[in-house]
Amino acid sequence: MNENDLNNLSDEELILEFQRTNNERAFNLLVKRFKNPLINYVYRFLGDYDSCVDVIQDTFVKVYRYKDRYTEVAKFSTWIYTIATNLAKTEYQRRKRVKTFSISGFGEEENNYEIKDNSFRPDKSVDSLYKEEQIQKALLKVKIVYREPVILRDIQGMTYEEIADILNIEVGTVKSRINRGRKRLQKLLKNVYKD
Amino acid sequence: MEEKKFENLINDLKNLRKIKAPDNFEFKLQARINNLSEKEPEIVKKNYRLVTSIAFASVLIILSVIFRPFAEDYEDPFEIQPQLREDLIAISENSNTQPLNEILNDSFKESDSNLQKGIPSSKSNLPEKLNDINSSSTDNQIEFTISKEDLNFTRPVMNDEEIKQVQILKQKLMSKKTY
């Protein structure tokens, strides 16, 4: 199967191809498709870039090792997001126990480094950057049980059913947690938003 | 309706900058995967469950061979009777050595006869009355049951004169103590 043929396959077909033939090009294509959305999701969850890169690396290693555990019952995106969520929670608990923190929001290095973002436009106002920073800080103050569904819904754009599958809860619970998460965020950002 | 309440917040969350993976992400990932493959032997990866179940079964077999709880000759270490140390047991100088239970029976008989004659049995360390004592021996194991009454080993038999002398001595001792 050549590269073009692989590009036309869906995520589920790619992982099945990888299971069947051990075709690493299929795996690499999945990495290419999911690395950025997963990094974005876990960064918003943990707030630390270095940690989120490690978590996503671990996620893909697990997908590689345990590829045979994927079954067609669920979507591939649900499966990989579940793995990433569990690893992110583990990292969060570990950091909470150790209580490590970095002065820089981007990592433990002395100098802040720019996160590559091709969508960033130089004519964006300073206000929007400040707002973004405030939102991220507020997100990290929300309890993880509410933070997760808010990020998956409002940042990643997932459906309630997908979120329910990833977090292994009912759709009703997803909706109620999203509502509570948003309320909490709005309260924390009361200077930015008005009721 | 709920979403209208948070319209501005939802819009700002949607429009947050998209964080991306570093340039060397795939390179590092490949290095980790290669490292992983070198460590684990292929047979273990493929047959993980088979290997663990074989290991568990082997451990069970080894334990059953060592302990053999259902073997006929199995001795529970907590129920083995301690062996008698024959070097500490007084054996007669007779070339025909008597078994221990016979020796003890003879001694008991001797002390019985002494009692009847009125001879103090202080020399003997054996109880005078043997009514409650049963002895049985099986393979050098002797069991005794002794009652409380028979624990007074020395019980001298005294005549009237001896009793009087003892009384006088007691009085003298008492008078000395008062001083």
- Amino acid B72: pLDDT: 67
The interaxial angle of helices A49-65 and A76-98, nearest 10 deg, is 130
Produce one character per residue of A89-125: b if its CB has 16 or more CB atoms within 10 Å, e if not: eebbeeeeeeeeeeeeebbeeeeeeebeeeeeeeeee
Q: Taking 70 as the threshold, does the pLDDT of residue A104 lie above it? A: no
Produce one character per residue of B91-125: b if its CB has 16 or more CB atoms within 10 Å, e if not: eeeeeeeeebbeebbeebeebeebbeeeeebeebe
- Amino acid A128: pLDDT: 76
- Among residues A75, A55, A68, which one has the least CA distance to residue A27? A68
Give the nearest chain A residue to B37 (CA atoms).
Answer: A65
- Residues A3-18 have a mean pLDDT of 89
- Amino acid B100: pLDDT: 57
A39 and chain B in contact, CB less than 8 A:
yes
Q: Answer whether B26 sits within 8 Å of A31, measured CB to CB.
A: yes
Residue B148 is given by DSSP the state G
Give the nearest chain A residue to B1 (CA atoms).
Answer: A179
- Amino acid B132: pLDDT: 43
Q: Which of A36, A115, A154 sits opposite B10 (nearest CB)?
A: A154
- Amino acid B111: pLDDT: 62
Q: Give whole-number Cα distances, B75 to B70, B72, B84, B138, B141, in Å.
A: 10, 9, 18, 18, 18
Produce one character per residue of A148-170: b if its CB has 16 or more CB atoms within 10 Å, e if not: bbbbbbbbbebebebbbbbbebe
Q: Taking 50 as the threshold, does the pLDDT of residue A78 lie above it? A: yes
Query: Both tokens of residue B93?
Result: 């100088």
- Residues A108-116 have a mean pLDDT of 46
- Amino acid B104: pLDDT: 61
d(CA A151, CA A99): 23
- Amino acid A129: pLDDT: 82
d(CA B114, CA B122): 10
Q: Rg (Cα) of chain B, in Å, rounded?
A: 44
Query: Both tokens of residue A144?
Result: 């993880």
**Secondary structure (3-state) at B136:** strand
**Residue A104, phi then psi, degrees to nearest 5:** -85, 135
Q: Which of A60, A65, A155 sits opposite B29 (nearest CB)?
A: A60
Q: Give whole-number Cα distances, B23 to A53, A98, A111, in Å.
A: 11, 29, 19
How are the residues of chain A apportioned to helix, strand and coil, as percentages rounded to the nearest 5?
70, 0, 30
B64 or A153: which carries more pLDDT confidence? A153
- Amino acid A5: pLDDT: 82
Give the nearest chain B residue to A30 (CA atoms).
Answer: B26
- Residues A162-172 have a mean pLDDT of 95
The enclosing H or E element of A130 equals helix A126-141
Instruction: Identify the residue whose tokens are 């991306």.
Output: B20
B26 and chain A in contact, CB less than 8 A:
yes
Q: What is the pLDDT of residues A172-185, one digit of tens each?
A: 999 999 999 999 99
| Contact (CB, 8 A) for A124 and A132 | no
Whether this model's ipTM surpasses 0.85 comes out as no
- Amino acid B69: pLDDT: 64
| Contact (CB, 8 A) for B85 and B121 | no
- Amino acid A174: pLDDT: 97
pLDDT tens, per residue, chain B with 179 residues: 567 788 989 999 999 999 999 999 999 999 999 887 666 555 555 667 788 888 889 999 888 888 776 666 666 777 777 777 766 665 544 445 555 566 566 666 666 666 666 655 444 444 444 444 444 444 455 556 666 666 656 667 788 998 999 999 999 988 876 65
- Amino acid B115: pLDDT: 61
Question: Which of A25, A49, A60, A124 best probes binding to B when mutated, by most B CB atoms within 10 angstroms?
Answer: A60
- Amino acid A14: pLDDT: 94
- The contacts of residue A2 (CB under 8 Å, 6+ apart) are none
- Amino acid B103: pLDDT: 58
Intra-chain end-to-end CA distance of chain A, in Å: 56
| Contact (CB, 8 A) for A155 and B16 | yes
- Among residues A123, A135, A34, which one has the least CA distance to residue B11? A135
Query: Both tokens of residue A142?
Result: 């929300």
Q: Answer whether A36 sits within 8 Å of B20, measured CB to CB.
A: yes
d(CA B147, CA A76): 84
- Among residues A56, A63, A52, which one has the least CA distance to residue A11? A63
B25 and chain A in contact, CB less than 8 A:
yes
- Amino acid B101: pLDDT: 61
Give the nearest chain A residue to B6 (CA atoms).
Answer: A182
Q: What is the pLDDT of residues A20-65, one digit of tens each?
A: 999 999 999 999 999 999 999 999 999 999 999 999 999 999 999 9
Chain A residue numbers touching B45 (CB-CB < 8 A): 65
Instruction: Identify the residue whose tokens are 């918003």.
Output: A44
**Residue A107, phi then psi, degrees to nearest 5:** 155, -170
